[in-house]
Structure formats: C-alpha cells, structure tokens
Structure 1
Amino acid sequence: MVHGQVISVAEAEWSPCRACGRLVYCRQWQRSWGVCPHCSHHSRLSARDRIAQLADPGSTRLLDFDVGAYDPLEFVDSEPYSERFQRARESTGMDEAVVCARAEIMERPLVIAAMDFRFMGGSLGSGTGELITRAAEFALEERIPLLVVPASGGARMQEGALSLMQMAKTSQALASLNEAGILTVSLITDPTYGGVAASYASTTDVILAEPGARMGFAGPRVIRQTLQQTLPDDFQTAEFLLERGWIDDIVPRAHLRGTLGSLLAAQTPRTPVVDGDVELVTDPSGLADTDPWAAVQRARDLSGATTADYLQRSFDSFLELHGDRVSGDCPAVIGGLGVLEGAPVVVVGHQKGHDSAELAARNYGMASPAGFRKAARLMRLAGKLGLPVVTFIDTPGAYPGVAAEERGQAVAIAENLVLMSALPVPIVTVVIGEGGSGGALALGVADRVLMCPGATYSVISAEGCAAILWDDAEKAPDAARALRVDAKSLLSLSVVDAVLPEPGDASGYAGSVPDDVMRVALASTLTALSGGDPAALVAERKKRFRAFGAEEAPVMQEVAG
C-alpha cells in the first residue's frame, strides 16, 4: 500500500516519494508502512492498513456499524452528491470515511476509529460522525480506551448544516467517555483540518502526531487567500503544534505501537509492589544540625540529581507528555506517565539541569504559566484514570517575566493549589533541590511531602529576603538562618512529613538520595496511601493544610485501612 493505493510488483517495482522525489522499491514501502527510507516522509495509509499496522496480529474485529447513504439536501454541484458518494464507495471499497474495530495493542484492548482520506478527502459528514459516535459508545459499553486516527480535509459541504452538527455530536460522545474515566487518544495524521480538528481530534486525553502531520482549523490556502498573510514554512505541522503546546508528542510510525501500549497500560491502576525497605526520618532529632545557608548552597549544586535523573533511574519507565493546550510547552516542567514498581503513575516535576546550557534551556527550573497548566492537565488526567501523582520540586521560584504576567502566572499557580487540594487520588511530593515560593507550592499540595536531606523550602530566596528586609544582599546567610529553610527545621515545623535518609558516604554529595532509596520511598508511601476512600484522602489532605498557622501542627495520618 503506497499513499493509500495498492501497487503490485507487476504494476511497478519502484515508486517516487512525494516529499523528496527519490525512488523507493515498492516492497520497501510496504515493509515500512509507507515511510520513505531517504527522507522519513510519512505517506498516507488507508484506514485498514492503519489498523493493521497498529493492532496486534489476529486481534482485530471490525465493527460493522451500518450507517447507510445520506443525502439530506439532494445536493448538486458539478455532479449530484449521491453519485460522488457512490463513486467514493466503489473506488475505496468502504461504506464511509471511517473504519471502526475492536483490537488489541500490546495485548491491551481498545477501540480504533481510523479515517481514510481517500474517501472524499476524509470529510466529516453525517455518516462519518455517526461512526465516530458509535465507536465511542462501544468503547463506553466495553469500558476500554478509544483511539481515533483522523485524516480529513474538513466538513462535508454537500450535507450543509447537518455536517456541522457532527462536530457537536462527536464531541458529546467523547465527553461521555471522559465522564466515565475512560482513556481517549488521538493520532493526528496528515492532513487533519476543519471540523474534525475542531472536535474529536483535539479533545482526547492525549494527542499524538506523526512527523510532519498538519492540523488546523483553517487550511493554509484559506488563510493566504483571506488575509493575504505569509505563513511560516512549518505552519500547522506537528513540529509547529508541539512547540506551541497543542499536542503531547510526535511519534514516528515505527514507534507508535510501543507508545500506544504504554498509554493503554495507564487505564489499569495498580498498587506498587514494594521491593526493599527505607526508613524515612520523621523525628527531627534523627537529623544532624545543618547550617541553613550551607543547605542553600547544597540545594543549588548542579551535580545533584534532577527530576529527569530520578525518572530515568528510579522508575520502570516514563512517557513524557507535552503542552498545556493553551499557549505552549514549558521546558522548566516535565511530566507524563510513569511506571513505579509495576504501577502506573502520573509524574510532574521541575527540571533544571547539570550545566549552564541545560539550565538556560530549562529556564533555570522557573516555570511559566504554561508549565503550571501542563502540570494541571496531567493531574486532571490522573484524577480521571484513578492514578496516583508524584511531583518533584526543584525551583528557585516561578518565572517572574513580563510574558509570564501577561499569561496569568498568579492565576495558573492559584488554580493548581485548588486542583491539588481536591484531587481524588494519592499525591506524594518530594523536594529534591530548591523549594522556592509559590512556584514550588504549585506542585506541593500533597498527602505526603518528603524531602531530600540537602534540599530547601522557603517563602522566598535568602537573597531576596535579605534585599527586602535588610536592604543588603550580603545578609543572605543570615536570612537563610532566620527563614529556617533546611530539612531539619522544616520537619520540626511539619511543613514536610519526612526526610529521606542521608547516604552513608556524603563525599561529593549534592543533596540527592540514591535511586533505589527514592524508588522504595515513593512506592512504600504510595502503597500506604492507596486503597482508601478518595473522599477520606481528600479530607485528610485538606486537614493537613488547614492546620498550618492553627494551634496544633499537622501530623501524618494513616489513610489506608
């Protein structure tokens, strides 16, 4: 299958790539599912080929939803719509622009609704919308995830306003899956435009895209003709969309099955299987006295482990998801779906780096509103799927720039505080480096707050406090001591619930803990929080924060029965 059309060896041995023009042996096209070996251009696949490429062999059962032919307006342009529709059926062997199937990917069941651009440009008509809706309803009935694979030039004009109504109908069907806690995924292929892009292609929990796939509401030609604008070369491509926060990731065709398998695994929550034992320090007397200013220097040491380091070394696997679906993808916050001791979790954390170049690229761990909104989006997904949340704090504070204020930095932080307060799943936070101000707390409203022994947590940086209250930045060491930013002080104030144990050999140590210690500490803490009543969990979390500033300091409570 090449560009959605069968090419037999008898017809042609070679076919040119539409992107680079170089000839490709047709059997090679077929083996690579239409990916050019020279330029990696992803050519179009038919709907059936798409399902065959993604699904486990022998697992596919086509869903025979009969929607019939529909010509409500008896529309005629250069020819009657009924004739155009019938010709599409004959040329593709399909009844409509969508093929629906129940299948498995990596032995995990799902429903796939794949569009075929060959059928009238994959246009969204009444039959198309009906098939997408029935696929969603079947997924709801079976309580299994739904994968939609759009390929469309837009709405089917020959059906008038009834075509427009399909946008609402299909969106309503996906909303039902959202309310039921069922995972939805969209795989954007080239092209995805108009009513499809503005409905079910963009409202799923996770949006993946193939390299170079284009998605938008108005196509480039329409924009050029209407507004006479010059468009960027990569306009509306997957790469353009990823940079602006609209999709989660770009996945080459060869890696789609593995990525989708990892996503589908998140539909089945499990309790971590704890392998090992770590004794967390909950009594301040069990910690050595530390000079708070020395703790500040230690927390900032670039040799310490970052969120990305712990994700790589303490978790079984991690699939990063991008974007806030509003304005961008903040590099200072990374998040996605992880597996910890066999259990799926949502992980979000600040990310700095180990050198000046990475620090600059990550904005020194200072999140923009897009970073906090990305975190919120992922935590809402955790709440929907019933997955626990792990957050890592390591930031000097939220980014203080003009652009951040224009995009609502304070509002983004405030919304996270409200969201985390009522999230009906266990939340564990670990302060691994700097815990700076509201930018830290925006990831820190948790059931349990753990801390690395060399980390800090404060309302403001020591330098900032010294400049404001002493009018002398040289007083930063005095400010750090007055603020009591070190782990022992914070444990005594019950700001943190426990401190991870100090390694036996602190030579060259920058505040991190060994990977196995982090893994076991997180797994055992989540296990203790799992299995209880979500309402009780939320009530205890609120009680914990309600007690700050009251007469009695909060204490750790056992949630699970």
Structure 2
Amino acid sequence: MTATTTDAVADQFWTRCRSCSSLLYRKRLRRNLDVCPECGDHQRLAAPDRIRQLVDPGSFTALPGDVAPVDPIEFVDSVPYPQRLAAARADTGLDEAVVCGEARIDGHPLVLAVMDFRFLGGSLGSVVGELITRAAERALDRGLPLLLVTASGGARMQEGVLSLMQMATVSQAIAALREAGLLTISLITDPTFGGVAASFATNTDLVVVESGARMGFAGPRVIHQTIRQPLPEGFQTAEFLLRHGQADMVVERWGLRARLRPLLAAAHAARSAVVRRAEGADASHSAGGSPSWVGPAGSGLAPGDGAGSSVLIRDPDRLAEPDGWRAVQAARHLDRPTTLDYLATAFDAFTELHGDRLGADCPAIVAGLARLGDQHLVVVGHQKGHHTKDLLTRNFGMPSPAGYRKAQRVMRLAVRLGLPIVTLIDTPGAYPGIEAEEQGQAAAIADSILAMTGLPVPVVAVVTGEGGSGGALALGVADRVLMLQNAVYSVISPEGCAAILWNDPTATPRAARALRVTAPDLLRLGVVDGVVPEPPHGAHTDPAAAADLLRRAVVETLTPLLRLPAETLVRQRRLRFRSFGAGNRRVPPPVGTR
C-alpha cells in the first residue's frame, strides 16, 4: 500500500479539530454531534446532517424545490455565475443553499428551512429567498411554527440588488406569520452575517444561538478594514450576542432538541387562540369592520401640487445609459443635496424629532414631521453632510442601531396620527463598527424592514444619492420606490465587491458596472417604480431645481396612495416585494394607483 493510499484511508477515519488541532476519530465525533470532545468546538454541519440531528427520525418531508436558477445581471468575476452554481451543486449535492421541509420535533409538527454554508457561503440569492418564503407560506397555510436555521455570509453579490430584495421578501413572510400568531424561531449557527443576520435571522419571535456561533451585520474582516482597530476578545460570538441582548438563549448542540421541545409545545397549545382571533377578524370583516387608512381632517395636497404631466420616468429607454462607476461617483458628490437640504426646500415646515428612547440619538438619521402643501406627513432620511465637520458629525451618513430605532419610533408615530411617510435614502451603508454590533446593528435593520412591511399608512421611498445595502433597504420597504437619475442602489459597495470577489481594489470600476447599480438598470429590474429627473448636470449644480423635481415626484406618487385603505396598502406593498422571488413576474399595481 502506498503512502498516498494510507493517508486516504486514514482520512476516512480520522480528522483534526479546527480549533484545538486534536486528532479525532470520525465515528466518535459524529456520535458527539460533530462537537469536538476535547475542546467543545461546534463544527459546521451540512443541512442534511443538521436536519437529522434536530428532527424526529423519518419525520422530515422535503418541500418542492422546483425553482429554476437565475442569473439576473449576468455577473462574471473570475468565472461566470452559472459556473459557480454548477460547481456548488456538484460539491454539495444540493440544489441551493437551503433545504426546506416539514418535520416533527418530539412529535410536534413544524416547517423548517435549514441553510448550508457549503453552498456559496450560504449566500442569500433569489432562489434561496424564494424557497425560504415558500416555507414560511407553507407554515402559514398549515398553521405551523417555522424554524429557520441560519448559516450565511450574507446576500449573494452575483445577483446584484435583487439579492438585497430577498431580505424584504422573506421578512414580510415572517411578518405574516407573526400577525397570524404563529411562532417563528431562528436557530443561529456559525457563521450568520450580512443580509441574513439583518433580516430573517433576527426578526423572528425567538432567537436561539448555538454555542460557538458568530453573528453580525458586518464580518470581522470588513469591520477591521473599515475602522482599522483591533477587535475585542469574543467579538460577535454567541456569548457576546447574549451579553448584549441580541439572543434569547445560547444552547449547546446536544441540548437544542430539548430547548426547542417546550417552545413548540407552547406554540401548539396557543394555536386554538390564534384560530379564535382569526375567526373574530373574519367576523369583523364581514360586518364591514376592516380598517382603512384615513388621514387627519382637512388633510390633502395643496391645489395644483399634483397637476400637470408626469415628472417621473418609467421607461428605461428614455434614460441615458451611464457608466456604473461614474454613476457611483456622481451619487457621492459632496455638493449633492442632502436630506436636510431637501427638507428645507422640497418640503414645508419641517420639525425634527430626536432619540430612539433607548439612550441614543443617531445624527446619521433625520426624522420628523413636515408638510407638502396642506398634507402633513412624516419624513425620515439619511444625512451625510457636505464638509468634513458635517461628515464626521453625521458619521458619513452611516446610521447606528439607534438611528434605525429612531426611524421606527417616528414611523410608529406616523401610524398613530394617520400620516403618510416619505423616506429619503442616501447612505453608503449602515455603520460597520464595534459599538454598532454591540448595540444590535443587524437586529435594528431587520426590525426596520419588518416594521415597514406592515405599516398601515402610505409609504414612498426615494433614493436621492447612494443606496447602500441593508442600510438603505432599512428605509426602503415602501409602496412606491423612486430614485433620482444620478442615484445608485446596490447590494454592496463596488469597493467591497471588488475586494471580496476579485481581491483587487483596482477592480472597483469593473465591479460597479457588473453590479448594475444605475437608474435604468434598476428600472428594468423592477426594483424602482420611477426615476426622478435631475437638472442637466446633476442635482448639485442646481439644488433648487432638483428640489422642485423631487417635490413634484413625491406629490405625484403619494396622491393616489392617499385614497387606498390600509389593508390594500399593506397587501400591495407585500405583493411588490413578493414579486422579487425567483421565477415570479412583477405584479403591477391596479390601474389608478400609479
């Protein structure tokens, strides 16, 4: 027997722990649920292995996974995206980065979606989002709890901004379950980062973290590269998450079934109450008691505000095709109008509100009450600044968790007062820093996305400059999404994409073009509903004209929404984001609402 053959045979029976380097007998390791018996390291599990460990033997039935793969932006880095998908399928034996099905845990039925990090880092793409959404919809149809087992590096860059949309698509499916009184649980495994952490991993009823797991909005490498500071011991670990209030419990792998059992039993016992509430809601609806959005007495847009032909561009062929990198640079121009500039010019009588009521006021988010003519409304937006002092004070428009919590607080005020909401988006992304992670950055973004999916008042979002990742989407789940002609909207910054996929900072312009971040690209993808034209040489060259165009666009878009009842607004908003799932056709709004 050759040395090579001997080594291969040895590899079948022995392995080394990634943490303590102990030589471990594979069968013993498997009997210990793939937890190192020497140091307790919880090794990563493939989705089929995770399912076998969690559910009752023979109880798992896979949900249909007949979703065709997509390549929406024909992305190519070192190899074309379809080749990466084919290689991942061959390596893992899975069709995608999640396995969904129905099963039982100690006899209690549930629906579960289990992510697999081996498949392109468990990244969240259109198919993954579609499959998890279908699992949530099955749970809703069957009246069952939903368990999400997360393991992901974040949104899938190769699918561009459509991968970003999956955060909202899945979040609104979670929202429907919560509204129906059905239990949702996240089981966080190692690693869970980015768009998954900032959406469905943390917006469930309960967050259970497996011992040894790490979770955060930004990964340690990104944080270190951004702030150039050493990270503290135990940063983003399960214990860190528990200590900073971001988890309900931390559980060793061997104890997961025992911890999930009483939670599922309680959900089963509570199901009868859910049914009674649903029957009561049906009776109310039959009696004509369904809620409607009604603005305050005497509200309305000033005469003439909505008059004239449409200012919005809805046909991408009417737009020039800008170079992606030049568009990014234009969106970042320091003289470009900010949220406060537009509040002083495009809106009337703005009154700013401060604080998240949890101990902080983030200057990167501006929120408060304003008017458009006679119509009172709430405006929430990112604020960058124009000069060094302003940029530093406003943290370059990168919000902390307190900023998103402030935004949610003011949006809840809008609901109580019956006021529509306008959001102005201009951020490179949420702040990737140590304090932000300690204060729950991922959960703050997830909560904002979740809350916006169910707001019973009209919501219009406008990307005025840089729409960066989940930090932008946290203010972007709206009935209508607009963008200025020279704005951009992306799943990640071009610099970040170039660093991760090309490992070459000089590839940034190429990444910007590949990501398809410009107004005509996003209009074609259906991510935005209309484009607000800018003065010929950009908004920064004529801020007054830019403000007038923005005002007219908001009035034009908001006016028909004011006539819709609350239940219609929420339903159509959710249909809008549901349409971003793989294989779904965009569902246009009914005639008369655009």
**TM-score (ref. length: structure 2):** 0.48
Distance (Å, rounded) in 2 between the aligned partners of 1:326 and 1:507: 36
1:324 and 2:353 are equivalent in the alignment: no
Alignment identity in percent? 55
What letter is aligned with 2:434? V
Sort the Cα spacing of 1:508 and 1:270 in 2 relative to 1 into closer, same or farther, 3 A.
closer
Q: Which of 394, 414, 418 lines up with 1:386 in the alignment?
A: 418
Letter in 1 for 2:399: A
Residue 440 in structure 1 maps to residue 469 in structure 2: no
1:483 aligns with 2:512: no
What is the alpha-carbon distance in structure 2 between the residues aligned to residue 496 and residue 479 of structure 1? Answer: 21
Give the one of 511, 516, 534 matched to 1:502: 534
Residues 1:311 and 2:340 aligned together: no
Matches of 2:409 and 2:539, distance apart in 1: 40
Q: How does 1:414-429 map to 2 (within 5 A)?
A: 414-429=446-461
Which residue of structure 2 aligns with residue 459 of structure 1? 491
Would the aligned equivalents of 1:341 and 1:523 in 2 still touch at CA under 8 Å? Answer: no
RMSD between aligned alpha carbons? 2.0
The answer to whether structure 1 residue 270 and structure 2 residue 299 are counterparts is yes
1:21-420 matches, within 5 Å, as 268=297, 270-273=299-302, 274-275=304-305, 276-277=307-308, 278-420=310-452
Q: CA deviation at 1:508?
A: 6.2
Could you say if the C-alpha distance between residues 526 and 534 of structure 1 is closer, same or farther in structure 2, counting changes exceeding 3 Å?
same
The CA distance in 2 between the partners of 1:481 and 1:557, in whole Å, is 30
Specify whether residues 506 and 456 from structure 1 end up closer, same or farther in structure 2 by C-alpha distance, changes over 3 A only. Answer: closer
How many pairs align? 296
Cα deviation, 1:490-526, whole Å, max 9, x if unaligned, reads 1110111100123245596499962111111111211
Whole-Å separation in 1 of the counterparts to 2:431 and 2:585: 31
Contact (CA 8 Å) 2:299, 2:376: kept in 1 or not?
yes
Q: CA deviation at 1:549?
A: 2.7
Secondary structure, aligned partner of 2:442 = helix
Report the CA distance between 1:528 and its aligned residue.
1.2
- Write the distance in 1 (CA, Å) between the matches of 2:537 and 2:494: 28
**Secondary structure of the corresponding residue to residue 514 of structure 1:** helix
Structure 1 portions without partners, runs of 5+ = 1-265
Which structure would you say has the larger RCO, counting Cα contacts within 8 Å and 6 or more residues apart? 2
Q: 2:589 aligns with which of 550, 557, 560?
A: 557
Q: Which residue of 1 aligns with 2:565?
A: 533
Cα deviation code 1:53-88 (max 9, x no counterpart): xxxxxxxxxxxxxxxxxxxxxxxxxxxxxxxxxxxx
Deviations 1:188-247 (A, max 9, x none): xxxxxxxxxxxxxxxxxxxxxxxxxxxxxxxxxxxxxxxxxxxxxxxxxxxxxxxxxxxx
Q: Kindly name which structure, 1 or 2, has the bigger radius of gyration based on alpha carbons.
A: 1
Could you tell me how far apart the structure 2 residues matched to 1:328 and 1:503 are? Answer: 38
Q: Which residue of 2 aligns with 1:470?
A: 502
Q: Deviations over 1:463-511 (max 9, x none)?
A: 0000000001110001011100111101110111100123245596499
Amino acid at match of 2:549: V
Q: 1:395 to 1:438 in 2, by over 3 A?
A: same
TM value normalised by structure 1: 0.51
> What SS does structure 1 have at the residue aligned with 2:586?
coil
Once residues 507 and 525 of structure 1 are traced to their aligned partners in structure 2, the CA distance between those partners, rounded to angstroms, is 20
CA distance in 1, matches of 2:363, 2:487: 22
**Deviations 1:354-404 (Å, cap 9, x if unpaired)?**
111100000000000000000000001111111100000000000011111
In 2, are the aligned partners of 1:421 and 1:538 still within 8 Å (CA)?
yes
Partners of 2:450 and 2:399 in 1: how far apart? Answer: 18
- Alpha-carbon spacing, 1:405–1:517, altered in 2? closer, same or farther (3 Å): same
Does the 8 Å contact 1:367/1:399 carry over to 2? yes
Q: Secondary structure of the residue that 2:320 maps to in structure 1? A: coil
- Against the structure 1 CA distance between its residues 352 and 559, is the aligned structure 2 distance closer, same or farther, given a 3 Å change threshold? farther
Contact 2:370 2:378 in 1 (8 A): yes
| Counterpart code for 1:502 | E
Conserved in 2, the CA contact under 8 Å of 1:391 and 1:428?
yes
SS in structure 1 of the partner of residue 472 of structure 2: helix
Return the letter of the residue paired with 2:368: G
**Residues 304 and 512, structure 1, Cα contact 8 Å, conserved in 2:** no
Note the residue ranges of structure 2 that are not aligned, 5 or more in a row.
1-294
Residue 512 and residue 538 in structure 1: after superposition, are their counterparts in 2 closer, same or farther (change >3 A)? farther
Q: Distance in 2 between matches of 1:546 and 1:359?
A: 36
Q: Distance in 1 between matches of 2:502 and 2:445?
A: 28
The 8 Å contact of residues 392 and 431 in structure 1, kept in 2 or not, is answered as yes
